[in-house]
Each structure stands twice: as C-alpha cells, then as structure tokens.
Amino acid sequence: MTGLYVGQALGGFGATVADAWSWQSAFHLFGIVGLAYSAVLMIALREHPERKRMSPSAVAPKPQKPPIFSSLTLLLGMTSFWMILFYFAVPSFPGWAVKNWMPTLFSESLGIEMAKAGPIATITIAASSFLGVIAGGILSDRWVAVNLRGRIFTSAIGLALTIPSLLFFGLGREIFWIIGGAVLFGIGYGMFDANNMPILCQFVSPRHRAAGYGLMNMTGVFAGALITSLLGKSTDSGHLGRDMAALAIPVLIALVLQLIILRPTVADKLADD
C-alpha cells in the first residue's frame, strides 16, 4: 500500500504538467512512466523457490479449487458479505470523489491555481492516508486479540473520521478547514482501507476470498465511476462543495449498519460452515 499512496501523491503533479503543457501531455507522461515501470517489474520480479521438505503431506494431491459460480453462490448467500460489500462500496463514493475532484475543490475554495492545488491536495491526503494505514493496522491487530470485533471497530473509527472531513471540504472556505479536512480524511480512510481484507477474512474462508475481494473492488470502482460523473455535473453547476459535504450522509448510514450487523465469531475463518 506504500506504493499506492506514493503514486496518489505524485498524481497531483499531473495538474502541474497539464498547466505547463496540456492534459494530453500529462496522460502521456504518466502512461510512459507506467509502461517503463511494468518493464522493470517483468525483468526484476522472480518467484521465490519452494524450500519445503518432501513429505507425505507435501506430495499429497492438492484439493480442487471451487468453481467460480460456487464461490459466487456462497458469497452472495451470506448476509454478512452483502453488508461488507455495501460497507466497502459506500466509502468509495467519497474516496473516489476526493481522488478525482479534490484538486478542483482546493482551487475553487482557496482561489489558488490548479498547478499548485493538485500537488497540495494529493500529497496531503496520501501522506495522511499512509499514517492512517500504519495506525489502523497496529490498532486493529492489537484490538482483535482481545475482542473479535476489534478490526470492525478500528475500521469504524476511521470511517467516522471521514464524516466531519467531508463537511469541512464542502462548507470550509479557509485553508485551515480545507487542509484540516484533507488530513482528517486521509487518516480515516487509511484506517478503513487497511482493515477491509482482514474483516473479509473473518467471514470468508481462504477458498473464496479472492472472489470476494474481487467483487468488493468491482463494486468500489463502479461506485467511483458513478460519483465521478455526478460530481462533474455538480462542478459545472457550481455545487461541488455542497454535494461533497452531502456524501457524509451515506457514509454515516454505512457506519451504523456495519456496527449493528457485522458480528464475527472468529478472528480468521479457515473453513466453510
């Protein structure tokens, strides 16, 4: 996740490149960097050789992987997974909104050039998100050792921090409130982000986790695409701040439902019921 947040921070400089040249140049530049990085990974990454000693268990035939439709049937038949899916999707609204529209909001609210607003917004949020990931991971690991809902409570704390930050984004007109909201949002979202997979592991066995996390990511991307389009219309109509603040409402609903419904019985589910 370190690389993810560093990439988000550097992404803000796309506005600087676009201001100096054009948005086409910004996309071309970041695309070329991505292609070069993928080439480095293909050359440098190698699978670690297996060092297991030969034993009856090591040579025993591996269990067959469950068919994909079997995983989907099991996952979609679980009330807890639907709640996890909803809980993952709703924060994707402000998550993608902040990633895509925060430089614009910074520029409009603070009256600064987009070339400066882009890096300020992304670096502030990415750096504080990195702190939130570390803090949320440590707190969650310790809390779950004494309470099975520790990861859920840690994630809920993080999500709760994003609610006032969205109000600061939407209603604030001074740099203190805007930057403070960015720091608060980053820390909260980082705590939430660090605990999504661990929470899934409390309800879904290893055989179905890849399918489960894939559904979560797909739902999150769809939610992000929807909110990006809606906030684009809000920007055109001059209501970006107001509609950004309104995102606190669905986040609050998801937070309350999560605390009511998600009640794990194990710290790590290893087998299907």
DSSP SS3 for 269: coil
Measured from the Cβ of residue 20, the count of other Cβ atoms closer than 10 Å reads 10
| Amino acid occupying residue 180 | G
The CA-based diameter of the chain, rounded to the nearest angstrom, is 69
Residue 160 · residue 153 · CB < 8 Å:
no
Q: What is the pLDDT of residue 164?
A: 93
Question: What are the residue ranges spanned by the domains of the chain?
Answer: 70-261
Tally Cβ neighbours within 10 Å of residue 31. Answer: 10
What confidence score (pLDDT) does residue 55 get?
Answer: 46
The identity of residue 128, as a single letter, is S
Q: What are the Cα distances from residue 214, in Å, to 130, 197, 210? A: 23, 11, 6
Q: Where are the alpha helices (DSSP H) in the chain?
A: 2-11, 13-20, 23-44, 56-59, 68-76, 79-110, 114-144, 150-171, 175-194, 196-203, 206-237, 240-246, 248-261
pLDDT at position 273: 67
Contact of 128 with 190, CB cutoff 8 Å: yes
Closest CA to 244 of 190, 175, 170, 186: 170
Structure tokens at 191: 């705590």
23 dihedral zone (left: phi>0; alpha: psi -120 to 50; beta) = alpha
pTM of the model: 0.78
Cα–Cα distance measured from residue 123 to residue 109, given in angstroms and rounded to the nearest whole number = 18
- Tell me how far apart the terminal alpha carbons of the chain are, to the nearest angstrom: 32
Separation between Cα atoms, residue 104 and residue 41, nearest integer Å: 33
- In a structure prediction context, what are the per-residue pLDDT tens digits for the chain, which is 273 residues long? 666 666 666 666 666 666 677 778 778 887 898 899 899 988 988 776 665 444 444 444 555 555 667 778 888 888 889 999 998 888 888 888 887 777 777 777 777 777 777 777 778 888 888 899 999 999 999 999 999 999 999 999 999 999 999 988 877 777 888 888 889 999 999 999 899 999 999 999 998 898 899 999 999 889 888 988 888 888 888 888 888 889 999 999 999 999 999 999 999 998 876
What pLDDT shows up at residue 249?
Answer: 92
Query: One-letter amino acid identity for 67?
Result: P
Q: What pLDDT score was predicted for residue 141?
A: 95
Residue 202 CA to residue 22 CA, distance in Å, equals: 47
CATH 1.20.1250.20 fits 70-261, yes or no: yes
